Copies of this chain bind each other. A is one copy, B any other.
Amino acid sequence: MSFSPLTRELIEALTCLPGVGPKSAQRMALHLLDRDRAGARKLADSLQQAMEKIGRCERCRNFSEQPVCHLCAQQSRDPSLLCVVETPADVIAIDQSGSYRGYYFLLLGHLSPIDGIGPREIGADVLEQRLAEGEVKEMVIATGTTVEGEATAHYLSEMARQHGIVASRIAHGVPMGGDLEYVDGNTLTLALKGRRIIE
């Protein structure tokens, strides 16, 4: 005895979502069947459309249904600045801060030799071509503060140096409004290392 074949299939298909195990998938399937069939139909349609039409932007590798994404297509940005990030969410976060007006390049991950993720997998070859075009003067490296993120940052700064391009790393330290007692030790270490003389 169990659910009907189609219900079982749906529960199993839902476990492809990150963080969704068999129990949550069951709850989701029953909720959709019972209360939100319209939403489920819309989700099916969106998934299909997205998977079919969304590819990668030729310039920055971000997800886009156009060959060049709407961000790379903006002429008003400063072409001498290129910010290298790990994920599309990072682009949103940086852009919403309103403090950066250059272009972006996405690695969609970070170097991780143990998992077989080398320079090619994170698009280092595409990035190198971009640097070779000669427009970029400064590469702002905004990869994560994990060991892999730092290794990736180091690799990228070497690449920039070879092309005679300035490489910079975004500052890491105590966040605004952050209470010192709740900030972890690693962050404090970075904050102290990165301290600046008050002029």
Contacts and interface: CB of A to CB of B under 8 A. Distances in A.
A105 to B, nearest CB: 15
Nearest to A1: B95
Q: Copy number of this protein in the oligomer?
A: 2
B4 A69 contact: yes
B41 A47 contact: yes
Interface stretch (A84-92, A136-144, A183-191): A84-92
Nearest to A41: B51
A117 interface: no
Given A16-B40, A39-B13, A96-B1, A65 B32 contact: no
Nearest to A27: B18
Which of A1, A17, A63, A89 has the most C-beta atoms of chain B within 10 angstroms of its own C-beta? A17
Interface residues of A, number: 59
B16 A42 contact: yes
B92 A4 contact: no
Given A40-B51, A42-B16, A47-B13, A33 B89 contact: no
A167 B62 CA distance: 62
A89 B44 CA distance: 24
Q: What 5 pairs between A and B have smallest CB-CB spacing?
A: A16-B39, A44-B47, A13-B46, A1-B95, A13-B43
